[in-house]
Amino acid sequence: MDTFLHWLQHETSGLLTLCAVGIAVLLLMIIKFRIEPFIALIVSGLLIALAAGLSVQEIVGTAQKSSESLLEGGFAGILGHITAIVGLGTILGSMLEASGGAQLLTRKLLAAFGERRAPLAMGLSGLVFGIPVFFDIGIFVLAPLVYVVARQGKRSILLYCLPLVAGLSMTHAFLPPHPGPVVAAGLLGVDLGWVILMGFACGIPAFIASGLLYPVWIGNRIYLPVPEDMLAAADAVAEKNAAEGRRDPGLGTVAFIIGLPMVLILGATFGSITLPKGSTALNVLTFFGNPTVALTIAVLLSFWLLGTRRGMTGKEISELTGSALRPLGMILLVIGAGGFFGKVLAETGVGEALAGSLQSTGLPVLVSAYVISSGLRIAQGSATVAIVTTGGIIAPLLHAGDYSQAQLALIAVAIAAGSIIASHVNDGGFWIISRYFGIPVKDMLKSWTVLETILSVVGFAMAALLSALVP
C-alpha cells in the first residue's frame, strides 16, 4: 500500500493517473449524474488533493486560518480578479438592453445595408451588441427583429439568425468583459488589453468565415420559415413599444457607451508599451485603463445617458441593476470552484507532471491548450468549465517558459476557441437557439454545430498563425 501511495503521489506516471482519474470523476458527475459543475469541481479537487497526500490543514485550513487554505485561496484568487469586471459588464449590457439601444443599432444597420445585405446587418448587430451583453440576452432582445427581417426577405430564417448568433458567440468567446476570456486572462496572468487585441485579431476572421460565409451556404440549402407564433410575438413587441412611446437613445450615445471601456483599457495597454515607466501620462492611463475603473465609468455614464436623461428613476435603475446581477451567481460559483481545482493541480505536483508530459509530446503549449479545452467542451458542454479546467492544467506549462503578454493572450484565445467547438445537445446555447428560431435538432446539428466548429477552428488557426509572428 505504501508503495502504491508513493507511486501515486511522487512518480510522474502516478500523478498523471491521478489527474486523469480526477477529470474522469469530474466529467462523470456532470454528464452522468447531472451534478452542478461547481459542486463537481469542488469534489474532484478535494479527491485529488487527498489522494495526492496533502494534509487537511493545507486543503481546508484550520478554524483560525482557513483563508490560507487551498479551498478558500483557490476561490479568492480567481474571483478577486474577475468578479467586479463581469458584474459591471453585465450591468452595462442590461442598461443598453433596457434603453432600446440594441434594437436601434440593428434598425440603423438594416436601413444602411438594405434588404439584400440584411444578413450582414444582423451579423454586425450581434458583433457590436455582443460586446457588453451575454449571449442568451442578445438572442432574447434581437430575435424579434430576426423574425421580421426573415418574413420580409422570404428566405430561410437560417440566413438571418446564424450571422446574429455568430456575432454574439464570437464576442462572448473572445472578448472581455465576458466571463470566458476574463477567466482565461486571470488564470494565465495576462493583461486584458492584450486579450482584447488578440481577441479581435483572431475573432474577426473567424466571424467572417462562420457568420457571413457559412450562413449563405447553409441558408440556401435548408429552408426553414419563421413560425407563425414567433411572428405574432414580434408584432406584439413592436405594438407594445409603439404604445409606450419608447424614445430610443442616440446612435452615437450607444456607440460611445459600448466603446468607452475598451478604448480606456487599450489606452493603458499601449501606454505601457510606448510611455516611460513612472511618467504622469502612464499613471493616468493605467488608472483609467484598469478594467474595473473603465467599466465603472461606463456604467455610471450609462445610468445618466441611457437612464436618468431618458426618464428612468433611481428606483428603476436600481431594480434593473439587481435583476441583471442575479444570474451571475452560478457563473461565479463555477469559476471559483475552477480556481480551486486549478490550485490543487498546481500544489499537488499534478500540474507539473502533466506539463512535463505535454512538453515531451513536442506539441506547442497553444496547441495543447486548444486540444484540452476542445475535449472538455465536447464531453460536458459548458464553455466555462472547459476554460477554468484547461487554465488550471496549462498554467504550470507557462512557468518554465518566457512568454510575452501577446503570446499569453494568444494562448488564452486558444483556450477560449476550444471552449466553443462543436456545440451540441449537452450545451444550453444549443437549445436556446433551437427554441427561439424554431430550428429542429437535425438542422441545428447541420447549422449551429458546424458554425461553432468553424468559429472555433478559424479562431484557433489565427491564434497559431499570430503566435509564429508576434515576439
pLDDT-based confidence at residue 196 (cuts at 50, 70, 90): very high
How far apart are alpha carbons 397 and 352 in whole angstroms? 7
Q: Is the separation of the CB atoms in 394 and 368 below 8 Å?
A: yes
Cite the DSSP H helix spans in 99-178: 101-113, 118-129, 135-153, 158-174
Q: Is the separation of the CB atoms in 326 and 317 below 8 Å?
A: no
| Residue reference for cell 515607466 | 277
Report the half-sphere exposure of 9 (CA within 13 A, side-chain side).
14
How far apart are alpha carbons 395 and 266 in whole angstroms? 24
Q: What's the one-letter identity of residue 248?
A: D
pLDDT-based confidence at residue 235 (cuts at 50, 70, 90): low
DSSP-derived letter for residue 250 is P
pLDDT at residue 273, as a whole number? 87
DSSP-derived letter for residue 211 is I
The whole-number average pLDDT for the span 371-396 is 89
Q: Is the separation of the CB atoms in 274 and 205 below 8 Å?
A: no
DSSP H or E segment with residue 93: helix 70-98
Q: Sign of the CA dihedral 372, 376, 382, 388?
A: negative
Q: Is the separation of the CB atoms in 395 and 349 below 8 Å?
A: no
Q: Is it the case that residue 357 has pLDDT exceeding 90?
A: no
Q: Is the separation of the CB atoms in 303 and 320 below 8 Å?
A: no
Q: Sign of the CA dihedral 144, 147, 153, 157?
A: positive
pLDDT at residue 69, as a whole number? 84
pLDDT at residue 433, as a whole number? 93
Residues 2-57: pLDDT tens digits?
A: 677 667 677 778 888 888 888 899 889 988 888 999 899 999 999 999 998 898 88
The whole-number average pLDDT for the span 110-126 is 91
pLDDT at residue 471, as a whole number? 82
Q: Whole-model pTM above 0.85?
A: yes
| Residue reference for cell 476572421 | 205
How far apart are alpha carbons 391 and 386 in whole angstroms? 8
How far apart are alpha carbons 44 and 30 in whole angstroms? 11
Helix 101-113 to helix 135-153 angle (10° resolution) is 40
Q: Sign of the CA dihedral 67, 68, 72, 77?
A: positive
| Residue reference for cell 459588464 | 89
Burial of 62 (0-12, 13-18, 19+ CB in 10 A): exposed
How far apart are alpha carbons 389 and 338 in whole angstroms? 6
Which candidate, 225, 238, 234, places its Cα nearest to that of 154? 225
- Rounded mean pLDDT of the chain? 88
Q: Is it the case that residue 63 has pLDDT exceeding 60?
A: no
Residues 330-354: pLDDT tens digits?
A: 889 998 998 888 888 888 887 777 7
pLDDT at residue 231, as a whole number? 64
Q: What's the one-letter identity of residue 346?
A: A
User: Count of residues for the chain?
Assistant: 471
pLDDT at residue 84, as a whole number? 93
Structural domain boundaries in the chain: 2-55+80-467
Which candidate, 437, 443, 446, 441, places its Cα nearest to that of 425? 441
pLDDT at residue 289, as a whole number? 95
